[in-house]
Amino acid sequence: MFPLVPIRAPDFDVEVALAYATAANFTGKPVYGTHAGCWLHHDAAMLLARTVKLARPLGLRIRVLDAFRPAEAQWVLWNHTPDPGFLADPRRGSPHSMGAAVDLELIDGSSGQVLDMGTAFDEFTPRSHHGNQDIPAEAQRNRHLLMGLMTTAGWDFYRNEWWHYQMFNARAHYPVLSDSVLGADGMMPSAA
């Protein structure tokens, strides 16, 4: 069985806005090529489906900012900003590169407005940590709400990033995958 499944809006009722497919990320340029897609390991995709189901009665939707990140992309991010507090060292492997992690935010289901989380995605400061109280109370509530949805659905969280959730013990259960696993659907630009 192919280890990764596509995460598309109609199949999962999510909004997909891959930050690394655009220049609107901390590197200031696209990391993924023009054919970037959203992929997760089958096991993680089932957890995402559970999260969507839990969020729906609350009038909330999920916006996926990153999911499977090929090992080559992890090296691009690490070479730009080798900060082990916010990025997994590619020599160790990132749960993203296993298809076992997702970066996301909550959006209001009726207005499409992003809920305030106190910082932007990929703000590599202590203000991005779970439990940080130097952000507005509403943003703290929104982070707790996101964590509640995600952990109830079966995800583990990373304490330094309010947006990052991963499968428990991913490194013990899933291999690091290269862009080549996607074949013709590869995400990396040819020059990478």
pLDDT tens figures, 138-182: 999 999 999 999 999 999 999 999 999 999 999 999 999 999 999
- 124, 160 in Cβ contact below 8 A? no
> CA-to-CA distance for 79 and 83, rounded, in angstroms?
10
Domain count, the chain: 1
| β partners of residue 184 | none
pLDDT given for residue 160 in this prediction: 97
**Active site positions, annotated:** 161
- 29, 80 in Cβ contact below 8 A? no
Interval 100-129 mean pLDDT = 97
> CA-to-CA distance for 78 and 133, rounded, in angstroms?
28
For residue range 2-55, what is the model confidence (pLDDT) as tens digits? 789 999 988 999 999 999 999 999 999 999 998 899 999 999 999 999 999 999
Q: Where are the alpha helices (DSSP H) in 56-185?
A: 71-80, 137-153, 170-173
190 assigned to some structural domain:
no
Q: pLDDT band for 1, please (50, 70, 90 cuts).
A: low
> CA-to-CA distance for 41 and 101, rounded, in angstroms?
9
Is the pTM value of this prediction over 0.85? yes
- Token pair 């996607």 is at which residue? 182
pLDDT given for residue 129 in this prediction: 98
CATH number at residue 42: 3.30.1380.10
Domain around 181: 4-185
36 assigned to some structural domain:
yes
162 assigned to some structural domain:
yes
pLDDT given for residue 192 in this prediction: 44
Q: Which two tokens stand for residue 148?
A: 């509640």
192 assigned to some structural domain:
no
